[in-house]
Structure 1
Amino acid sequence: MNAIFTDASFQNMTNVANKYGVSTNAVTDLTYCLMGSNGSMAQFNIAELGGGGQWMQGGMTMVGDMFNNNLKYLVDGLCVDLSNLIHQGAIQYKPLPKTANSQGGFSGNWWGDLGFPNSTGSQNDTSYAIFNNIHRLAIQQNGKVTIFDTLDHNIGGVGQQQGGNYSVSFTSQYGNVNLNSLPIISGENKQQQPEVFHNNDLQNNVVETSVAPIMEAPVQPVNNNNFNNNNNSAFEEDIFGKIEKLAGLKDKGILSVEEFENKKIDLLSRL
């Protein structure tokens, strides 16, 4: 079941639909596809947009009718506008409703009031929920929840970790995410964060010793489905990048249209 967008988000999507002359349903379906990657890419199958297609941030757009440039421009325009709104926080999911518990009261999700996550999962005795839109990561282990500020990390990969405080590891656009370096927003380990002293402390002749976080040696995560998905995405980006370079050679007259199309079909067949 799809999550529900906030009223303000739905209004923003309606404005995009009116701008490009497409239905709100088509824009809503496309937005769901974009939300999973925090607005960086979308794989969709929407009849109003020509059926199956793919868009990637940076200029790569593919549609079912590959020679229909007007359709490509339409899909690219929609995705760019929606992606910008997602990055600005102008498109968000509603917080999940609270559910009744066995004591007759009500309780929310184990991660509290953070809203709807980009992805969730669990390994062994550890559960996680990733909220890239608000830069949060929630981890539950042995019934205890810790919420991290992920700073500028855009977490896209989760793997199994041997050793350390948690049985899961995370990757972002910077590589492995060191949880010990992330600020803790809430949880029993919050007091372990380094203390910071300010200028007014020095003026009062009070100097607090900052405690450096314990740095663990990076552990190579074991491949699983999430990492396979990342590898597939990297492979697809490589294919699309080659097609884009070939298009540039065609535009410069180095390749003929026929040579370009034959090579593009060959590259797409590898996906």
Structure 2
Amino acid sequence: MNAIFTDASFQNMINVANKYGVSTNAVTDLTQRLMSSNGSMAQFNIPELGGGGQWMQGGMTMVGDMFNNNLKYLVDGLCMDLSNLIQQGAIQYKPLPKTENGQGVFSGNWWGDLGFPNSTGSQNDTSYAIFNNIHRLAIKQNGNVTIFDTLDHNIGGVGQQQGGNYSVSFTSQYGNVDLNALPIISGGNKQQQAPVQNNEIQNNIVEAPIAPIMEAPIQPLENNNNNINNAAFEEDIFIKIEKLAGLKDKGILSVEEFENKKSDLLNRL
């Protein structure tokens, strides 16, 4: 798919290029790599930036010239600025044009007129498209398309799921995303709501009232949020360590570099 940035987005990218003294083409290429992960990581091969390299939000920067610290600082600065702009919605693709067929007007992709996704993919009979900038997730399974409202989830990971309604699973800054808890915008089972309580009025029959049950005090919401955030932060640290281990196994990182990075990440816990 050929994606075109909005005029405002392109101007923001030019400003970043001028700030670091690199070409607009290099920044555009780097931005496209970052867009696929909503600004969380990028794997690139840009001659102006030393050839092949990788950047991950949280402190990992690798370039072709491993001992060129100035190049590392340049790549890290570029990626940090572009990542912030992407996550703030200041860099976006233009909506895809609509086409016409014999049955009326429709968008050129199976997810409709949501625009250009941050990332797409498929596993088995399920396809997905993630739109973090507009808080949407589209899933196509057996020809049926369901659009979810992802609320405040920033989806950054996709995996294979055993069981459940779909063969794919998603993770965000809060950990695993429960699709059953997300509102459905269109398609699928639009009746997905909170379960009906047994003591509600059904078929004009009112059940006898039940004496209230004293429950344990509810913990303050702030503490619950802290627990969730801490768990998500710890999970993110271990995911990064696993990725570093994979890079070590491939020979991209030396054992010493891997141990240093792992130690830095573990010290954040």
Partner of 2:58: 58
In structure 2, distance between residues paired with 1:140 and 1:133:
20
Partner of 2:265: none
Q: Residue deviations 1:95-123, cap 9 Å, x none?
A: 2222332x174320222221111222344
Matches within 5 A, 1:127-142: 127-142=127-142
In structure 2, distance between residues paired with 1:178 and 1:90:
28
In structure 2, distance between residues paired with 1:62 and 1:123:
30
Q: Residue deviations 1:21-78, cap 9 Å, x none?
A: 1100000011111111111111111111111111111222221122222211111111
Q: Residue deviations 1:208-244, cap 9 Å, x none?
A: xxxxxxxxxxxxxxxxxxxxxxx99652345789xxx
Matches within 5 A, 1:8-87: 8-87=8-87
Name the amino acid aligned to 2:100. Answer: A
Please state whether the residue corresponding to 2:62 is helix, strand or coil.
strand
Q: Judge conservation of contact 1:61–1:72 (CA < 8 Å) in 2.
A: yes
Unaligned runs of 5+ in 1: 196-230, 242-260
> CA-atom RMSD, angstroms?
3.2
Partner of 2:106: 107
Name the amino acid aligned to 1:187. Answer: G
Cα separation, partners in 2 of 1:168 and 1:53, compared to 1, 3 Å: closer
The TM-score, its normalising length taken from structure 2, stands at 0.68
In structure 1, distance between residues paired with 2:42 and 2:123:
27
Q: Judge conservation of contact 1:184–1:193 (CA < 8 Å) in 2.
A: no
Partner of 2:6: 6
In structure 2, distance between residues paired with 1:235 and 1:267:
14
Cα separation, partners in 2 of 1:49 and 1:167, compared to 1, 3 Å: closer
Cα separation, partners in 2 of 1:232 and 1:178, compared to 1, 3 Å: closer
The TM-score, its normalising length taken from structure 1, stands at 0.68
- The aligned length equals 213
Q: Judge conservation of contact 2:3–2:94 (CA < 8 Å) in 1.
A: yes
Query: Structure 2 residue aligned with 1:235, among 242, 248, 251?
Result: 242
Name the amino acid aligned to 1:66. Answer: M
Query: Structure 1 residue aligned with 2:257, among 257, 264, 269?
Result: 264
Matches within 5 A, 1:139-218: 139-155=139-155, 156-162=157-163, 164-187=164-187, 189-194=189-194
Please state whether the residue corresponding to 1:190 is helix, strand or coil.
coil
Q: Judge conservation of contact 1:123–1:160 (CA < 8 Å) in 2.
A: no
Unaligned runs of 5+ in 2: 196-237, 249-253, 262-269
In structure 1, distance between residues paired with 2:192 and 2:72:
51
1:10 offset after TM fit, Å?
0.8
Partner of 1:216: none
Query: Mean Cα displacement is larger for which, 118-127 or 38-47?
Result: 118-127
Name the amino acid aligned to 2:18. Answer: N
Q: Judge conservation of contact 1:6–1:93 (CA < 8 Å) in 2.
A: yes
Query: Mean Cα displacement is larger for which, 87-96 or 124-133?
Result: 124-133
Name the amino acid aligned to 1:117. Answer: P
